[in-house]
Amino acid sequence: MKDKIRAIVVEHGRFAGNVSSLADDADLYAAGMTSHASVGVMLALEAAFDIEFPDRMLKRSVFESISAIAMAVAELLKEAGR
Amino acid sequence: MGSQTDASAARLERITELAERVTAPAAADVDRNARFPSESFAALREARVLSAGVPADFGGHGASLTELAAGCSILGQHCSASAMVLAMHHIQVLCIARHGASSPFFRTYLTAIAREQRLIASVTSEVGIGGDMRTSLSAVETTGSRFTLNKAASTISYGAQADDLLITARRDPSAPGNDQVLVLVRRGEFTLERAGVWDTLGMRGTCSPGFKLQSAGGVEQILPAFGDLASATMVPVSHALWTSIWLGVATDAVGRARTLVRAQARKTPGSVPPTALRLAEVTTKLQLLRQAIKGFIADYEALIVQPDGGLDTLSSIGFALRVNQLKVSASELAVEIVSHALSICGIAGYRNDGPQSIGRHLRDIYSSILMIGNDRLHATNAALLLVHKGD
Ligand SMILES: Cc1cc2nc3c(=O)[nH]c(=O)nc-3n(C[C@H](O)[C@H](O)[C@H](O)COP(=O)(O)OP(=O)(O)OC[C@H]3O[C@@H](n4cnc5c(N)ncnc54)[C@H](O)[C@@H]3O)c2cc1C
């Protein structure tokens, strides 16, 4: 799941430099993801995993790293019984 | 609690007195000559208003956002430029008080603000970036424990009068545009070379031309993590205080219209003048504006007393939408109210002199829609709404 998330983050995060080697816990905002770009990441994740992030999850701490995103996605998949 | 409320009311009373005695008589001259409202600021310093937002532990008043907003609104009824300068200063103070209090350097600095009534200006906008506060071109360059920071600032209000500056910049020359820090430089640590003049339609007394900034200091003067600071404090506090000024400007414009309607009514006792209907309409809008700001500030104050300082909610998309909606709607409403007051006052409002003149109000209030362009904020909200569900 983390690899799938990483691919989405790299494709939609609009980072300035080369980020293919982003560590799981690297701060995505510090790496150059703007809040505008994070919206693209959220939409792509919703489409890829067929989930919807509820408003309570739409905050910086949930999208600040690949690990944090993976936790949120896992929680939603579990809630959906998948 | 009671005595705190009393102290707050007494401080606001003092601002009201000072605004009527010192600020109001100078307002026309400040506007005409696009000069700094120096007499207002001498009086505000004397009343120690420049440290109203500094916590009591550091020698300030520890005033709530509600109180700071009320003070800006009172001043805004008499001179929007004075009010805007004070608001921008309060914003810088709150950023430091809320995000620098764990640093020995900033704790000492907070006491200096209170002791010396230092005035702090804001350097966020940048040539080539415009109003996108969350992006910088300039970067902090660090060697050992010292840094240098140069920035082509497109607008710095009261840059020439400020004691100190709070500047946004990239963390280091290799950082992406949104990996920003906030840097304090004090008089003697910076030079400003003016680039252009500030000869504008309104808000003339804010004296806000562009400047070429050069500065240097110690690394302890850098506040990290500007992203959190911006969403928790700088943006919500800015929008709360700016909108409070616009409320003040709108309130005074409506007050002028009300005087005119009453004068008409006294000439024809027994019949309601046609302008009274328009006055009823515009006071409804004024009430809407007042309540929108009040509601926002109350919610914000409830959030920041939470254990995490409200950061979890303040950094959410839902709150970002709300902060931007307040600014956009309040600015549109304020412009509407002031132009409405002009049409009630008629030629007496259109004149640049006389007690019903609305000219300065109208020129000043138009800055509200471009002080962070409304379309820019609408565009941000449009993107955020793609994921926000409103649940
Ligand atoms: C009275 C006053 C005092 C000020 N004082 C200071 C100060 O002390 N310090 C400081 O740093 N700055 C200050 N500013 C500047 C302010 O913070 C903004 O940076 C500035 O008003 C924006 O300038 P701009 O319209 O040239 O730039 P831009 O933000 O570039 O906007 C230009 C136009 O493009 C539109 N636009 C921009 N982006 C988008 C988008 N994504 N989608 C749709 N439309 C968009 C805007 O709505 C606007 O119409 C002050 C401004 C005023 C009016």
**Could you say which DSSP state residue B390 is in?**
-
pLDDT band at A1 (very low <50, low <70, confident <90, very high): confident
Residue-range definition of the domain harbouring residue A22: 2-79
Same domain, B258 and B218: no
* Residue B326 resides in a domain: yes
Q: Which of B224, B239, B273 lies at the terminal end of a domain, its last residue?
A: B224
Task: Quote the ligand 1 centre to B206 CA distance (angstroms).
Answer: 15
pLDDT digits (tens, 9 = 90+) for B370-391: 999 999 999 999 999 999 998 7
pLDDT at B4: 82
3-state SS class at B370: helix
pLDDT at A81: 87
Q: Is the predicted pLDDT of residue A21 greater than 80, yes or no?
A: no
Q: Which of B224, B255, B287 lies at the terminal end of a domain, its last residue?
A: B224
Q: Is the CB of B208 under 6 A from ligand 1?
A: yes
A43 contacts in B (CB within 8 Å)? Answer: 386-387
Q: Is the predicted pLDDT of residue B1 greater than 70, yes or no?
A: no
Here the ipTM equals: 0.91
Query: Which contiguous run of DSSP H or E holds residue B164?
Result: strand B164-170
Same domain, B129 and B193: yes
Q: Is the CB of B136 under 6 A from ligand 1?
A: no
**Could you say which DSSP state residue B222 is in?**
E
Task: Quote the ligand 1 centre to B384 CA distance (angstroms).
Answer: 20
* Residue B390 resides in a domain: no
Mean pLDDT of chain B: 96
Same domain, B205 and B105: no
pLDDT at A80: 87
Task: Quote the ligand 1 centre to B365 CA distance (angstroms).
Answer: 15
Q: Which structure tokens are listed for A23?
A: 């560590």
pLDDT digits (tens, 9 = 90+) for B162-218: 999 999 999 999 999 999 999 999 999 999 999 999 999 999 999 999 999 999 999
Nearest-angstrom CA–CA distance, A2 and A45: 12
Same domain, B92 and B199: no
Lowest mean pLDDT among B185-194, B247-256, B266-275: B266-275
Q: Is the predicted pLDDT of residue A54 greater than 90, yes or no?
A: yes
Same domain, B192 and B48: no
Domain count, chain B: 3
Span B46-74, average pLDDT: 98
What DSSP string runs through B177-196? TT-EEEEEEETTSEEEEEES
A32 contacts in B (CB within 8 Å)? Answer: 176-179
pLDDT at B245: 98
Q: Which structure tokens are listed for B53?
A: 């937002």
What's at B20, amino acid-wise? E
Query: Which contiguous run of DSSP H or E holds residue B277?
Result: helix B274-304
Same domain, B233 and B216: no
Residue-range definition of the domain harbouring residue B240: 227-385
Same domain, B212 and B237: no
Same domain, B334 and B240: yes
Identify the CATH number of the domain in which residue B195 sits. 2.40.110.10
Q: Which of B73, B98, B118 lies at the terminal end of a domain, its last residue?
A: B118
Same domain, B319 and B380: yes
* Residue B391 resides in a domain: no
Residue among B171, B316, B383 minimizing CB distance to A59: B316
Domain count, chain A: 1
Same domain, B65 and B168: no
Span B247-252, average pLDDT: 98
| Residue identifier of the C-alpha nearest atom 27 of ligand 1 | B130
CA distance B91 to chain A (A): 22
Task: Quote the ligand 1 centre to B335 CA distance (angstroms).
Answer: 17
CA distance B305 to chain A (A): 19
Identify the CATH number of the domain in which residue A15 sits. 1.10.1200.10
Q: Is the predicted pLDDT of residue B58 greater than 70, yes or no?
A: yes
> In sequence order, which ranges of B19-103 are alpha helices (DSSP H)?
24-32, 38-46, 65-76, 80-99
Span A35-49, average pLDDT: 93
Same domain, B379 and B266: yes
Identify the CATH number of the domain in which residue B73 sits. 1.10.540.10
Q: Is the CB of B369 under 6 A from ligand 1?
A: no
Residue with the two structure tokens 């005695």: B21
Span B92-100, average pLDDT: 97
Q: Is the CB of B135 under 6 A from ligand 1?
A: no
Nearest CA in chain B to A59: B316
Span B47-52, average pLDDT: 98
Span A49-65, average pLDDT: 94
pLDDT digits (tens, 9 = 90+) for B104-161: 999 999 999 999 999 999 999 999 998 899 999 999 999 999 999 999 999 999 999 9
The number of the ligand 1 atom at minimal distance from the alpha carbon of B88 is 8
Asked whether the beta carbons of residue B227 and residue A29 sit closer than 8 angstroms, the reply is yes
**Could you say which DSSP state residue B42 is in?**
H
Same domain, B259 and B285: yes
Residue among A29, A34, A53 minimizing CB distance to B387: A53
pLDDT digits (tens, 9 = 90+) for B305-349: 999 899 999 999 999 999 999 999 999 999 999 999 999 999 999
Identify the CATH number of the domain in which residue B273 sits. 1.20.140.10
What residues contact B192, with CB distance under 8 A and at least 6 apart? B156, B159, B160, B211, B212, B213
Q: What is the pTM of this model?
A: 0.96
